[in-house]
Structures are given as C-alpha cells and as structure tokens.
Structure 1
Amino acid sequence: GHILWTGLRVELTMLLVALVLLVPMAEAMRCSNRPASLRAAARVSRLSLFEAMVDKPAVEHPEALLGPWELRSTLSGMDSTWVDLHEGGTCSCGSRVGKGRSWGATTKLNGSWRLNFVLLDKLGRPITYEGDVSDDEVRSMVVAGVVLGPPKRGAGAQKSSQHVIMGEFSGYKLE
C-alpha cells in the first residue's frame, strides 16, 4: 500500500513537472501576441498552481509580514495604493480601491513566502493579489506577482466562475 502510494505520487509529480515545462512552450506559440508582462504573469500563476498541487502548504499569517505595504499595479484606478495586513488574517486598504477582506501566506519550496490577499472593489467583487515575497537590500521586504479578478461581462459560464489575470503588481513593506 505505502510503496504503491509513493510510486503513484512520484509519477504524478513527474507528470506535473512535464506539464509545467511543456505548457509554457505551447502557450508561447499560441499567445505570442500577448505583452511579455502578461506572459510572465501567466507563467508565475502556473508555477504557483504546480507548487500547490505537489505539496499543499498550510496558510499562515506570519508576524514578519504584518503591517502596511505600499503597492503599485498595472490596473487602472488601482495603480498606487496600500494594504495593511493585520493579525488573524484580516486586512485593510486604501478607500480608493474598496476595502480589505483577508490575507494569508504559504511557505514555498525554497523557504520564501507566497503572499495572497483579497480586496473587495467598490462593487464588492473580490480582487486577489498573489505574489512572491523576497528580501531586499534597500527595502526590507518586497513582493511581486499577479492580480486576479472576475472575468469581463459576457464571459462563458465556465469562465465566469474562474478568476482571470487582470494585471501585475509589486510593492514593499513599510517600516
């Protein structure tokens, strides 16, 4: 039983690695007219999915990430804002954006954090920021990743239940 399960897990991991390596090539051929930033964002999103499938890490609220973060994004109207991460997984944000809902972080395979926080826009729709946190010499911690949100109106039923990449963001922790 245990040996069979271990073998199956190894085969599944190898299959996922192959998909992570092959899908970007197929997508690059299919979507070569997309801006480079969106292609990179899709690649980050696929790698996140792969890491989550290989070993589902527990969501945490590390003390090191608590506090205010200055953010810049490619989204119109949300190009410059802030988010404040609170104990217990709640957050707040600039009123121009809407209001904060929740946040969490997972430990990646390399030991760094993947930060995820959800803000509600003025219409109450969830906008998810998902990015990788790293140390920085100038700013103590920086984050960069993708912004996910609801699909455009008129999207098919399958797409309407999924978040789509709306843009990219980056930011740093205020000290």
Structure 2
Amino acid sequence: MRKELKDFYQKVYGLSIKDYDYTYRIIKNIIEDRLAMTMQKIIKLGKKADQDHISDVAYYDFLECEYLWHFCLIRLQGIFEGILKQEFFPNKELIGLKSKVKEIERKGFIIDKYKIELIEWGKVRNKLVHEPPEQYRPGTIIESDVKKYLKFIKTLTKIIFNQKTKLGL
C-alpha cells in the first residue's frame, strides 16, 4: 500500500451538513448519465437486436445503478459518523455507529426518538459493507430509500447541532 493512502486524511474544511446533499447529487447525476447512456445504447441497437437483447442491456444497466445507491447510502452514513467524530470526540477512536451514539448520549444529547431508526439504517449499511449482495442481485435499495435516509440523517444532524448549541458545547 502506498504511504499516502495510510495517511490520506487531511482535514481542510471538515464535514458539514452540505456534504449529504453533495453526495446525493453526485450519485444522482452519475445514475442519470448512466441511464441516458443506456437509452443511447438501446437506440443504437435499434432494429438490429431482438427484444430480449434490449431487455438485457436495460436490466444490467439498472442493476449497476442500484449499486450506486448502495454506495450513496454507505457514504451518507459515513458522513454522519464523521460529523459526530469531528464535532464531539475528535481525539477518540470509537468503532461503530452504536459506540458513537452512546458517546453523544453520554455528553447529554437526547436522540431517543431517532435512535431506533438510526440503528436500523446502520444495520442496512453494515450488511452492504460486510456482507454485500451477490453480483446480479444487488438488493432493493432504490432512490426513494436513499432520499428517505437523506432526509432522516439531515434532520437528526440538525437536531444534534441545535442541542450542541443549547448544551454550550
């Protein structure tokens, strides 16, 4: 492994709530471009290909787009965990979402209303990372799932920042 990869993290601005929308927008743009390319392929195939061939092209391109939603969900949770670390325990190495949640609760933050859903999303992310689905069965994470998570995680982040101000941290 290159030395630069071992020490690649150099904080410049730090993570912020804007990183959520930025990540979503990048993935959405890539998927839109990918789907436009699929349409171009299908048009190019035109009458030369039978319907089964065209269906296969569309299906496999759709599967690849599902994988991109996986990566988006993984990064969104990574941003959330990174924000927690940078804002509340920059010098502590806590492993896993649950340990980070326990740490902010220990500091006086109240997220009871959101905790169960946060942990459930964390389980989905862990499955994607530690037990990824097989090649042609990526699962069922679609854009609406990611949008729901995006809204949830932004709301939770804002609540935590509001509490940070109230707690004087």
TM-score normalised by the shorter chain: which range applies?
0.3 to 0.5
- Which has the higher relative contact order, 1 or 2, with Cα contacts under 8 A spaced 6 or more apart? 2
Larger helix proportion of the pair: 2
TM-score by length of 2: 0.34
TM-score by length of 1: 0.33
The structure having more radius of gyration, on CA atoms, is 2
Larger strand proportion of the pair: 1
